[in-house]
Amino acid sequence: MSKNNKGLLIVLSGPSGCGKGTMVAELLKRGDCAVSVSATTRQPREGEIDGTHYYFLSKEEFQQRIDNDGLLEYAEYCGNYYGTPRAEVDRLRAEGKHVILEIEVQGALQVKKRCPEAILVFTVPPTVSELSRRLHKRGTETDEVIEKRIAQFQKELPFVPEYDYVILNDALEDAVADFASVIRLELMRPAYVDLSHLEEKK
Amino acid sequence: MSKNNKGLLIVLSGPSGCGKGTMVAELLKRGDCAVSVSATTRQPREGEIDGTHYYFLSKEEFQQRIDNDGLLEYAEYCGNYYGTPRAEVDRLRAEGKHVILEIEVQGALQVKKRCPEAILVFTVPPTVSELSRRLHKRGTETDEVIEKRIAQFQKELPFVPEYDYVILNDALEDAVADFASVIRLELMRPAYVDLSHLEEKK
């Protein structure tokens, strides 16, 4: 029933501790979704494979990608560049895969600018204290880092109106279902539904 | 969690035999949805109550509503006018009810023009022969009327791209679920989600 065989482009943002990883992992099980491999100028760590974990580029190669509008979004972090290659996303979508990008707000807004049909989803915790509780429970970060993450999340809140959907992650299972519903509903857009077989035979 | 207490405005179109009645009836059971009472210039039939079945208006009163932009849509049918009073819809939405209007394409497009936040949903049968089968099964119309209904449906198809969502009614149960999903997803729009409790305390 789909006339537009091109997959969707979905951007997922939100603080750590809101189940983004699980939401993406659950969708990847379906077979019609994919994540794209990012490009970076940082050195490969032991065991990291070019084209699997990242596309490892020199600074010159990365700059060339920027100049050729070959990145849907990019950012500098600790002296290295990270970005999403447009060609990679286009290739997956042309195969009919719904591409999911898990990126922060500034990157998400860059994607929307370069690719207006992108669907932006922001996931939020029920409360700040619950977010704090979840981050502490993971036990991977110091109190100071957790404070910073919460402050960062609160700085991102004013950008939520630029998103298409907000998923409240109260129960992880519901958040996963909501994320799947976004895809289901976006595929009910007229551009995605082939009605040609219903037309009058000439 | 809803900051916008105003209910949604949802317009449902599509041919008879696609479960529109059941879709609306199922949502009305929820308690947060409502249908609005239409206005008409035709004479009340026996047992019809003003304000319940219709608002019965004189032609002058109806014309006045048109002139004052008091109707979200209207049409003439067999010499009588029928329309959707804007005040009625506004009142229900202000109470937090999601108002569902079951109207044909021209009316739906009028609503979208006067109320751009309206969500337009078009329901379609899997095939034309299935639509024909369903209409015959009801046994309420002659073959000639059924032919006309199918031709009318096919004339409406070019307007489907103006709609927000297309619901394929293959199995009625799924169509009802899809219709409920539309409401659920539209309430996940940032305008409907209150995040103020997550903001940094000043």
| C-alpha torsion angle, residues B163, A118, A199, B186 (rounded to 10) | -30
Q: Is residue A120 part of a domain?
A: yes
Looking at residue B45, its pLDDT comes to 92
The partner residue sitting opposite A190, judged by closest CB among B151, B163, B190, is B163
CA distance linking residue B135 with residue B143, whole number of Å: 9
- How far from A143 is each of A149, A155, B36, CA to CA, in Å? 10, 18, 54
Is A182 in contact with B178 (Cβ distance < 8 A)? no
Asked whether A162 and A13 are in contact (CB, 8 A), the reply is: no
Q: What is the mean pLDDT of chain A?
A: 93
Q: Is residue B100 part of a domain?
A: yes
Q: Is residue B91 part of a domain?
A: yes
Q: Is residue A155 part of a domain?
A: yes
pLDDT tens for B92-146 read: 999 999 999 999 999 999 999 999 999 999 999 999 999 999 999 988 889 999 9
User: For residue A125, what is the nearest residue in chain B, using CA coordinates?
Assistant: B198
Q: How far is A165 from chain B (nearest CA, A)?
A: 5
Query: Burial level of B138, CB count in 10 A (0-12/13-18/19+)?
Result: exposed
pLDDT at B83 over 90: yes
Confidence of residue B32 (pLDDT cuts 50, 70, 90): very high
Using alpha carbons, select from A12, A63, A62, A2 the residue that is nearest to residue A35: A12
Which DSSP symbol is given to A74?
E
Confidence of residue B46 (pLDDT cuts 50, 70, 90): very high
Confidence of residue A3 (pLDDT cuts 50, 70, 90): low
Asked whether B12 and B102 are in contact (CB, 8 A), the reply is: yes
Which DSSP symbol is given to B201?
P
pLDDT tens for A160-179 read: 999 999 999 999 999 999 99
CA distance linking residue A7 with residue A75, whole number of Å: 25
Domain count, chain A: 1
Task: Average the pLDDT over B17-46 and give the result.
Answer: 93
Mutation target vs B (from A193, A196, A199, A201; most B CBs, 10 A cutoff): A193
Q: How far is B28 from chain A (nearest CA, A)?
A: 21
CA distance linking residue B156 with residue A146, whole number of Å: 55
Task: Give SS3 for B19.
Answer: coil
Pair of tokens at residue B188:
């996940």
At position B56, the amino acid (one-letter code) is: F
Task: Give SS3 for A15.
Answer: coil
pLDDT at B35 over 80: yes
Structural domain range at position B109: 9-196
H or E element: which one contains B12? strand B9-13
pLDDT tens for B148-191 read: 999 999 999 999 999 999 999 999 999 999 999 999 999 999 99
CA distance linking residue A173 with residue A150, whole number of Å: 23
- How far from B47 is each of B44, B53, B54, B69, CA to CA, in Å? 8, 9, 12, 30
**In A, residues 138-157, which contact B (CB 8 Å cutoff)?**
151, 153-154, 157
pTM of the model: 0.90
Pair of tokens at residue B10:
């949802």
The partner residue sitting opposite B199, judged by closest CB among A154, A163, A167, is A154
Q: Which chain B residues contact residue A199 at CB under 8 A?
A: 154, 157
Looking at residue A1, its pLDDT comes to 47
pLDDT at A2 over 80: no
pLDDT tens for A75-104 read: 998 899 999 999 999 999 999 999 999 999
CA distance linking residue A36 with residue A25, whole number of Å: 13
Confidence of residue B2 (pLDDT cuts 50, 70, 90): low
Please report the DSSP string for B35-49 in residue order: EPPPEE-SPPPTT--
Is B189 in contact with A167 (Cβ distance < 8 A)? no
Q: Which chain A residues contact residue B184 at CB under 8 A?
A: 181
Is B198 in contact with A124 (Cβ distance < 8 A)? yes
Q: Is residue A163 part of a domain?
A: yes
Interface residue A17 vs chain B (CB under 8 A): no
pLDDT at A189 over 50: yes
Q: Which chain A residues contact residue B161 at CB under 8 A?
A: 190-191
Q: Is residue A84 part of a domain?
A: no
- Name which residue leads in pLDDT, B5 or A108: A108
pLDDT at A53 over 50: yes
Query: Over pLDDT 70: what percentage of chain A?
Result: 98
Is A198 in contact with B164 (Cβ distance < 8 A)? no
Using alpha carbons, select from A180, A164, A83, A68 the residue that is nearest to residue A121: A164
ipTM: 0.89
Looking at residue B1, its pLDDT comes to 47
Q: In this structure, what CATH number is given to the domain that contains residue B44?
A: 3.40.50.300
Query: Burial level of B1, CB count in 10 A (0-12/13-18/19+)?
Result: middle
Is A195 in contact with B157 (Cβ distance < 8 A)? yes
Query: Over pLDDT 90: what percentage of chain B?
Result: 89
Residue B96 dihedral angles phi and psi, to the nearest 5°: 90, 5
- Name which residue leads in pLDDT, A138 or B177: B177
Q: Is residue A19 part of a domain?
A: yes
Query: Burial level of B62, CB count in 10 A (0-12/13-18/19+)?
Result: buried
Q: Is residue A62 part of a domain?
A: no
Encode B54-103 in three state secondary structure. Answer: EEECCHHHHHHHHHCCCEEEEEEECCEEEEEEHHHHHHHHHCCCEEEEEC
